[in-house]
Structure formats: structure tokens, C-alpha cells
Amino acid sequence: MNKTFKIYKTNIIVFSLLVFLCGSKLVTAQNDPGELIQSVQEKFNALTDLSANFTQSVNGSTNLTGKVFYKKNNKIRFELTKILIVSDGVTNWNYNKKENKVIISSYDEEDAGLLSIERIIFEYPEECELSTYMVENQEILMLLPQTSTFSFNSVKLWINDDNLISWVLIDDPAAGLVQIDLTNYSVDENLPDSKFTFTPPEGSKVIDLR
């Protein structure tokens, strides 16, 4: 699968990874990056759903704010200011609110991009060099891609005193320095399946690619 994504997709994909890391209670003294990732994967396996607010800034200027919802079996929903992205693991909906346009496509696990959380959690770390270090009593996990299939140079994750990731710094050669702040986590809140389907609004332009 080609994982060389456009800037927008790259940042959202990395954000998806961060959300799940944020939901993970990590061992405070944990310095082995392999053990840290394993803890994340074990936490992920135990989750049924989660949600989080986020703000993304590029080179110091905020360009995205919104909320993400996730439920097992590749159900995901991104609520952005101008765009809504929804998938039930079978069908994807991408709704541009300003243009009142919906693009519908079939979910493809081999080319799911930002929608395949399982792939991001379990496969992507295997293609990155992982390391950890401390800065001002905060543990930082760094991911360095080992192949040319990723479009970022590095990702740094800041872990706060509650063993949650407070923010992330992405070094993207095309976009620059991308920072994502994560707040207001909720885990296992029994999100309904209806949260992960979408009915195009009346009068909207629908492009069905299935």
C-alpha cells in the first residue's frame, strides 16, 4: 500500500495514532519504546470506543479544530469546521459543508489511509525507528520513518504527568512544523453505531464512487 499522503491526510493520520496513544495509561518509568508501543496496542485492544477534541497548528498558525470519534471495527468520525468525514467500516462519506457536497466511497482496508486505525496502531510503528527521552519531566516518544512511504520526517509525542499525550510535533517537509493539541478525552462511552453513518442533506450534491 502506498502511504505517501497529501499533507492534510498525513496530519489527520498521525492525529488518529495520537488519539489512541492519549487513551493509553503508560507506565510512568517506561523508557523502552517497544514496551511503550506494546502498552498502547494492549490498551487499544481493550477499548470499545473513544473521542477527543483537537487543535492543529502549522508553523504557529491554527488551521484545523474539531473532534474525532472512534469505535471498533474501523468506525470513525471526524468533525471539522468545514468538513465531516464518516466511515462505518463499509462505506465512507466525505461531506464538504461549504460546498454542500458529499463524496461517497467504499471502505478499502488495503487503501484506507486515515480510516484504518488498526493498521496505524499495529503496522505503522514497525516501519519507524522508535525512541524515548525526557524533557522537563515529560516523556517524549519519537517516531522516525525507515522507509520513503511516509511523508513526514519525524513525529514527537509529549506525555504529561497523567501519562496522557498533551501535544505532538510533526516535522513535515512540505507543510513545516505541525503541532496537534489534544484535550477532553472520553473512553468507552458506548457510542451508537448511528454516529458512524451519514445521510446526505436534502439538496446536497452527491458523488457516489462505489
What is the distance between the alpha carbons of residues 53 and 48, in angstroms, rounded to a whole number? 18
pLDDT of residue 44: 72
pLDDT of residue 142: 84
The distance from CA 171 to its chain's CA centroid, rounded to whole angstroms, is: 16
Question: Contact 85/92 with Cβ under 8 angstroms?
Answer: yes
C-alpha cell at 45: 485492544
What is the distance between the alpha carbons of residues 124 and 17, in angstroms, rounded to a whole number? 9
The domains of the chain, with CATH numbers, are: 7-208 (2.50.20.10)
pLDDT of residue 108: 75
**Mean pLDDT of the chain, nearest integer:** 77
Query: Please, how many CA atoms are within 13 Å of residue 200, restricted to the half-sphere of its CB?
Result: 18
| Span 128-187, pLDDT tens digits | 888 888 877 777 878 888 887 777 788 887 765 555 566 778 888 888 898 888 788 888
Average pLDDT over residues 8-34: 51
* Poorest-pLDDT segment among 36-40, 108-112, 142-146: 108-112
C-alpha cell at 195: 454516529
Predicted confidence band of residue 91 (pLDDT cuts 50, 70, 90): very high
Kindly list the distances between the CA atom of residue 79 and the CA atoms of 54, 144, 157, 195, in Å, as whole numbers in the listed order: 10, 29, 23, 11
C-alpha cell at 29: 518509568
pLDDT of residue 3: 39
Average pLDDT over residues 13-42: 57
| Span 179-209, pLDDT tens digits | 888 788 888 999 999 999 999 999 999 999 9
* Poorest-pLDDT segment among 91-100, 108-117, 161-170, 173-182: 108-117
pLDDT of residue 112: 41
Give the residue, 61 or 15, on which the prediction is more confident: 61
Q: What is the DSSP string of 125-191?
A: GGGEEEEEEEETTEEEEEEEESSTT-S-SEEEEEE-TTSSEEEEEEEETTTEEEEEEEEEEEES---
Query: Is this structure's pTM higher than 0.75?
Result: no
